[in-house]
Every structure is written in C-alpha cells, then in structure tokens.
Amino acid sequence: MAIFRMALTVLKALVKRPATRKYPFQPAREFPGTRGSIRVDIAKCVFCGICSKKCPAGAIAVNKDARSWEIDRMRCISCGYCVDVCPKKCLAQDTAYAPCAYSKEKDTFKSA
C-alpha cells in the first residue's frame, strides 16, 4: 500500500506548480508583518549602544568616540529587538528583504 501512496504523491507533484519561487527572478511577496532589513537614521542616533548590547546575534557595533554605527548584515537575524529598545527611535525595520550580498562586508554609518 505504501508504494501506491508514494506513486500518487509523485503523480500529484508532476502536475502541480512548484511550491517555491525562483527568488532573484521572481521577488518574494511582502506582507504587512514581514521582518526585513534594519534601517538607521544616523542623524537621530545618540550612540548610546543599547541596540548593540541587546542584539542577540551581536550584529551591531556602536562606537561613541568615533560616532559610528555598524551592522553586519550576515549576522543579523532580523528579530527587530534593536528597533524596540532604541530610545531615540532612529532604527526601523523595512518590510522588504535586503538585496543579495556577494561579500561579507559591514555597513558603517558615521555622524558628521
């Protein structure tokens, strides 16, 4: 009986559309609750470092002396906790995913 069930599953899979999308060619749909990439408004930032201390992945680094804010997009898990704890609300989370990365580089933002 198991062979017939397996054959039925295989036949259904042959006539149905695939469950996945061809991502770079066919972008993913964005839903209202989608957690995408982190965005920073460096003009509002006071470089307190709370986002860096609360980040569970350790993806954010804040240097108060150099007045720089840095995020490692490869380590970020898009949980949004840094956005929640930011006292100045200079961090926001987009609903769009970050573009494909071809190298491991950190995004650095500096205040003037």
Task: Provide the 3-class DSSP secondary structure of residue 39.
Answer: strand
pLDDT score, position 107: 86
Domain residue extents for the chain: 34-96+107-112
CATH classification code of 34-96+107-112: 3.30.70.20
* DSSP assignment letter at 98: P
| Full pLDDT tens readout for the chain, 112 residues | 788 999 999 998 888 887 787 877 887 777 777 888 899 999 999 999 999 999 999 999 999 999 999 999 889 998 999 999 999 999 999 887 777 778 888 888 888 7
pLDDT score, position 22: 81
Q: Which of 64, 95, 61, 62 is nearest to 75 (CA)?
A: 61
